Amino acid sequence: MASESTAKPDTSITEHLHELVLSSPDVEDFLNELAQVSARNLSEPGDEIMCAITLLRQRKAATVASSSPEAKAIAQLEYEFSETPSLTASTRQETISVPDAQHDGRWPEYSTAVLAQGVRSVLALPFQLEGGTKAALLLYSPRPHRFESRIVEFAEDFVGQTSLALRLAVRFAHYSETAANLRATLESRTVIDMAVGIIMAQNRCSQQDAFEILKTASSTRNSKLHDVAAVVVNSLGQGPARTHYDG
């Protein structure tokens, strides 16, 4: 595929990415594979480029995926400065090109940093995502003016076709995290409820009084309510409480 950098992305790429969405254990794993697929399809024989993907989700740590360790090190710079090509591309939803970092005055500190990494030209392309989630595909080359118009056009088409797969990956990650948070909440609630029941039996008190005893112990020990409840439940010697799920 590398020799076909001016052609439109093959439908097999899209199919491969959709399958990857279903098989990847998390969104970061999917992004790393997408970065490698991008590098293979956007490079040319004897003139390989480095690819990285930056992802920003609400209330989540920034994610950096890459086609190589070198690309990841360069992409980390995107979060060290307040204004960079990927942030600009993601915010404006437009392609940002840095033909030669040595002569680009838009991001002087950033340009100095990428030049120190041996990068002369950068291309940042935004993915079309949902809500407040932002992501960009970053292409790096040690050669100035590497990303001419035909490469930009192909890269934009590539990003357009792969955006759906990324939207699905982010959506699945959100659902998975929501389910995990719900499971953790239910498990915590189970332990607390069991501890309240034990305290009621031991002290012959009401549910409200038992809960207040648990809260007081939590405050006195400066420990989380769940942790104090777990101590109460484990004191029976029957092992930790388990929450059972159907399906």
How confident is the model over 109-138, as pLDDT tens digits?
999 999 999 999 999 999 988 777 888 999
Does residue 14 carry a pLDDT above 80? no
Most confident of 18-27, 96-105, 202-211: 96-105
User: Residues 6 or more apart from 147 whose CB is under 8 A from it?
Assistant: 97, 99, 121, 123, 139, 141, 155
For residues 74 and 84, what is the distance between their CA atoms, to the nearest angstrom?
12
Please list the residue range(s) of the chain that carry CATH number 3.30.450.40. Answer: 16-177
Given the candidates 1.10.10.10, 1.10.10.60, 3.40.47.10, 1.10.260.40, the CATH classification of the domain at 181-235 is 1.10.10.10
Q: How many residues does the chain have?
A: 247
Q: Tell me the two tokens of residue 118.
A: 């041996």
Per-residue pLDDT of 21-67, as tens digits, reads 656 667 778 788 888 888 888 888 888 899 998 888 776 667 788 99
Q: What is the mean pLDDT of residues 226-239?
A: 78
Please list the residue range(s) of the chain that carry CATH number 1.10.10.10. Answer: 181-235
Does residue 19 carry a pLDDT above 80? no
CATH architecture of 16-177: 2-Layer Sandwich (3.30)
